Amino acid sequence: MEDLSTTRSTNAYLLSTESTRHCSTHSPSASALYCQAGRTGGAVTHGYDTVVETQGLSKKFGDVTAVSDVSFEVTRGSVVGVLGRNGAGKSTLVSMLVGLTPPSSGSVQVLGGDPRAARSRSRLGVVPQDVALPGNLTAYELGSFVAAHFPSTTQHYRQVLHSWGIEDFCSTRIGRLSGGQKRRVAVSLAFVGNPLLVVLDEPTTGLDPESRRAMWNRMREEVSKGMTVIITSHYLEEIEYLSDHILLMEAGMLIENRSISSFLELKRQARVSFNSSVSVDQVHRAIGQQAEIVAGRHSFEVRSQDTDAVVRALVHAGLDFQDLRVTGWSLEDVLMERMEEQDA
Ligand SMILES: Nc1ncnc2c1ncn2[C@@H]1O[C@H](COP(=O)(O)OP(=O)(O)OP(=O)(O)O)[C@@H](O)[C@H]1O
C-alpha cells in the first residue's frame, strides 16, 4: 500500500491531528481512517452475499475481556444494529471489524478478506465513535483527499457531501464547526469512497433532532440502493428505524443475534391503556382476575396477548373510560426486559 504519510503533503495536516481517548482503537486520525484503501487495492467485486463474517472473535485489554468469542455473519444489503450497555464491547467489536483493532483471537472477514487489507478497505466506509478530523482543513479539502484514495468513487466528492446536507459549512475550517457539524462531516466523508459496507459507531450522537432525522432518511436512501450498514447507537428509536437485524452485546458476549421483528415478538403482549375513575376491582371483574393490570390514580394499563378481547370486555362491562389506546412494545421495552433477564 502506498505510504500516504510521505507521498501527500496534505497528509502532514492529517497526521498532526490530535487523537484522543483509546487512540489505538477508537480514535484514529483521519488519515488512518479514510485513506487506508490505497490506490493499489483495486475495486472489490460486488459478488459477496456474506459481507462480514466473524468466528470466535475476542479482544482482551490486559485483564479486561472487551469482546468474548463472538461469531456472526452479516448478509449483503442488511442493516445491523449493535446494541448493549456502556462498556458492553460494541466499539471494540466494530473497531475489529474495520481493522483498526487487531483481535486477540478468532477471525474476521470483511468483503471476503482481512479488514486490514487494502482490497477490503477500498469498499469500506467507517465512522468511529471519536474521530479527530484536522481542524485546519475544510470538509471540501478532506473530501478531495479521501476521494483521491478510493478507486470506486462514482460521484464527485462535492456532490456526496452536499447530499448529506452539509453544503453550508463545507468551506469552513473543521476547527470552527460545532460538535454536531463535525459529526455530520465525519459521517458524510465515510460515503465519499462509494463503499459497499459502512460501519458507523454512534453516528448521530450530538446531533439535533432535525439533523438526526435527516441523516436517518439519507441513510435509508443508501440502504435502498443495496448498501450494507453496521451501526451502533444508544438511540433505540434510531436502531428500530434503520435496522432489520440486531446484535445485542452484554459484557463482551453476543447474547442476541436476530431480526428486529423476531426480537420484538419475544414480547407477545400488547398494552391497552385508558383513563377511568373506576376501581381496579371493577376492571378486574370486567376482564378477568388473572389479567395483568398496572393502575395509576385514574389511569390503567392492561397487558395482554389479546388486546381486542380486553377492549371488548371493557365495553361489554359498560365501564366508563376515556383516551383508550392500544400499543405494542417498543424495542426499548423488549430490550430492557431482556437485560433484566440477563441480570437475574
Ligand atoms: N484501549 C483500551 N484499553 C483498555 N480497555 C479498553 C480499551 N478499549 C476498551 N476498553 C474496555 O473494554 C470494554 C468495552 O469497551 P467498549 O468501548 O468496546 O464498550 P462500548 O459497548 O462501546 O461502550 P459505550 O456504549 O460506552 O461506547 C470496557 O470495559 C472498556 O473499558
- Residue ranges covered by each domain of the chain: 50-264, 268-328
The residue that leads in pLDDT, 92 or 14, is 92
Residue holding cell 453496521? 230
The residue-averaged pLDDT of 122-133 equals 87
Q: Residue 216 above 50 pLDDT?
A: yes
The best mutation among 61, 63, 93 to test binding of ligand 1, ranked by most ligand atoms within 8 Å of the C-beta, falls on: 61
pLDDT for 32: 46
Q: Is 292 or 74 the better-scoring residue by pLDDT?
A: 74
Across the strands, what pairs with 327?
A: 271
* Cα 231 to averaged position of ligand 1 atoms, centre (Å): 16
In 3D space, the residue among 233, 158, 223 whose CA is nearest the CA of residue 196 turns out to be: 223
Q: Specify burial of residue 9 (Cβ count, 10 A radius: 0-12, 13-18, 19+).
A: exposed
Closest CA to 253 of 139, 88, 103: 88
Q: Is 59 in the pocket of ligand 1 (CB under 6 A)?
A: no
8 A C-beta contact, residue 31 and residue 69:
no
Which of the residue ranges 5-9, 102-106, 298-302 would you say has the lowest mean pLDDT? 5-9
The response to whether residue 151 sits with its C-beta less than 6 Å from ligand 1 reads no
Residue 61 CB–ligand 1 contact under 6 Å: yes
Q: Which residue type does 214 have?
A: A
| Residue of 27, 91, 130 to test ligand 1 pocket, by largest number of atoms within 8 Å of CB | 91
Kindly report the protein residue whose alpha carbon is nearest to atom 30 of ligand 1: 87
Ligand 1 atom with least separation from CA of 249: 21
DSSP-derived secondary structure letter, 132: B
Whether residue 31 contacts residue 140, with contact meaning beta carbons closer than 8 Å, is answered with: no
**Confidence category of residue 196, pLDDT binned at 50, 70, 90:** very high
Angle of helix 280-287 versus helix 307-316 axis, rounded to 10: 110
CA-proximal residue: ligand 1, atom 31 (nearest): 87
Gap from CA of 211 to ligand 1 centroid (Å): 27
| Residue minimizing CA distance to atom 2 of ligand 1 | 22
Band (79; pLDDT cuts 50, 70, 90): very high
* H or E, element range at 33: helix 30-34
- What average pLDDT score do residues 10-28 get? 32
Taking the centre of ligand 1 as the mean of its atom positions, its distance from the CA of residue 289, in whole angstroms, is 47
pLDDT at 20: 29
Is the pLDDT confidence value at 14 over 70? no
Q: 91: Cβ below 6 Å to ligand 1?
A: yes
**Nearby residues of 98 by Cβ (< 8 Å), 6 or more positions away:** 110, 115, 124, 126, 128, 199
Asked if pLDDT for residue 3 goes beyond 50, the answer is no
| 38 has pLDDT over 90 | no
Q: How far is the CA of 71 from the centre of ligand 1 (A)?
A: 19
pLDDT band (50, 70, 90) for residue 153: low
Phi, psi of 189, deg, nearest 5: -65, -30
**Is domain 268-328 given the CATH code 2.60.120.200 in the classification?**
no
Nearest ligand 1 atom, CA 84: 21
SS3 244: coil
**Helix (H) or strand (E) segment spanning residue 281:** helix 280-287
Residue 250 and residue 84 in contact, taking contact as beta carbons nearer than 8 Å: yes
Any ligand 1 atom below 6 A from CB of 84: yes
Distance CA 128, CA 86 (A): 16
Q: Do domains 50-264 and 268-328 have the same CATH topology?
A: no
Separation of alpha carbons 203 and 198, rounded Å = 11
Cβ 332 vs Cβ 236: under 8 Å: yes
What separation in Å is there between the alpha carbon of 74 and the centre of ligand 1?
23
Residue 169 has pLDDT above 50, yes or no: yes
ipTM score assigned to the predicted complex: 0.98
Q: Among residues 94, 119, 336, 115, which one has the least CA distance to residue 203?
A: 94
- Of 26-30, 174-178, 236-240, the range with the highest mean pLDDT is 174-178
**What percentage of the chain carries pLDDT values higher than 90?**
63
Q: Using CA positions, which residue lies closest to atom 16 of ligand 1?
A: 89
Q: Ligand 1: distance of its center to the CA of 27 in Å?
A: 12
Whether the per-residue pLDDT at 298 is higher than 80: the answer is yes
pLDDT of residue 121: 84
Structural contact between residues 156 and 143, judged by C-beta atoms closer than 8 angstroms = no
**Residue nearest (by alpha carbon) to ligand 1 atom 17:** 91
Beta bridge partners of 75: 50
* pLDDT level of residue 39 (50, 70, 90 thresholds): very low
CA distances from 252 to 65, 92, 126, 280 (A): 7, 9, 21, 44
Nearest Cα to Cα of residue 212 among 189, 240, 183: 183
Q: What are phi and psi of 330, to 5 degrees?
A: -85, 170
Q: Are 169 and 99 in contact (CB under 8 A)?
A: no
Class of domain 50-264: alpha beta
Cell numbers given for 152? 470506486
